[in-house]
Structure 1
């Protein structure tokens, strides 16, 4: 029996149409595990009639897994444009967060030399700067995974390999409160500037 999304903690997010632009939304190679790679909508734009608009705020480049029969997302990593969006993310994920899960957020507007742990919404987040790279590449570096090790794997297999390492990850970064992080964060970059219209 293949694990389907409705048997995992992704079910509510899927029903709320928050799982967007997926390159993976399927059972992985590990029995009982479901993987998602794509974007998670955190705040929707007001929609007129039946037009489809991109979300106002999202967590992009998400890599996440959940296990059948567990009420929480076991591993989640994603990009956030602003540190203060952690609150939105925690609200959207809600009861899919757990103290047992491993959650990594690569945030655009924190000091490039800092790494934090932030407790929020009943979970602990590892909050790291994003160094002009992708969440995937940042994770490989953080978890000491060689790209060559993953070369022969498909998207589901790569997701498993990253998730397995992430679930075993433990590090003690500077612990800060959400409020202190908001005070210390830099301005939010406009991701649309310097782009041809």
Structure 2
């Protein structure tokens, strides 16, 4: 039995590569992954700087963040993740070709995804700022505790951005 068994991450296991963390966190019943998530069965493209968490015995990810090179890869990501995305999850995707200052939410079926510009700063650092987390405290945490803090920050995040269809967002890049 793997450390991510009985979670949404288990169904994605073949796509989870280059892990710096893959297993339980300090929150009981939570498992997490930090690394890259392949969008296809080939080695590229991938959701890079990926951070994800799921509750054991849950079919979907509760939290996901990462970076895509282009917005055109968003539907490919949605296909790759399939049922791991759910309406009650919090998903933050930083995209290389989204214009600086643009922030919106895109519906992928029933699921809303936050789409944000990527400004050559790590996704991890972007999320710390985005969720107003204490950088000094975060430096003292191990990887599992860092993912817990980000997942909890995401769960509390309630701000809404303009809701666009994928086609409307694609027309903006």
- Number of the residue aligned with 1:104: 92
SS in 2 for 1:112: coil
Kindly tell me the number of residue pairs found equivalent between the two proteins. 173
- Number of the residue aligned with 1:38: 35
Take 1:148 and 1:154, find their aligned partners in 2: how far apart are those partners?
Answer: 13
Q: Which runs of 5+ in 1 are unaligned?
A: 46-54, 186-197
TM-score, normalisation: structure 1: 0.85
Q: Which runs of 4 or more aligned residues in structure 1 lie more than 2 Å from their structure 2 counterparts after TM superposition?
A: none
CA RMSD of aligned residues (A): 1.4
- Number of the residue aligned with 1:85: 73
Q: Which runs of 5+ in 2 are unaligned?
A: none
Take 1:111 and 1:151, find their aligned partners in 2: how far apart are those partners?
Answer: 30
Take 1:149 and 1:174, find their aligned partners in 2: how far apart are those partners?
Answer: 32
- Number of the residue aligned with 2:5: 6
Q: 2:120 aligns with which of 104, 128, 132?
A: 132
Take 2:44 and 2:136, find their aligned partners in 1: how far apart are those partners?
Answer: 36
TM-score, normalisation: structure 2: 0.96
SS in 1 for 2:140: coil
- Number of the residue aligned with 1:188: none
2:57 counterpart of 1:69: yes
Which structure is larger by alpha-carbon Rg, 1 or 2? Answer: 1
- Check the 8 A contact 1:116/1:127 in 2, yes or no: yes
Higher helix proportion (structure 1 or 2): 2
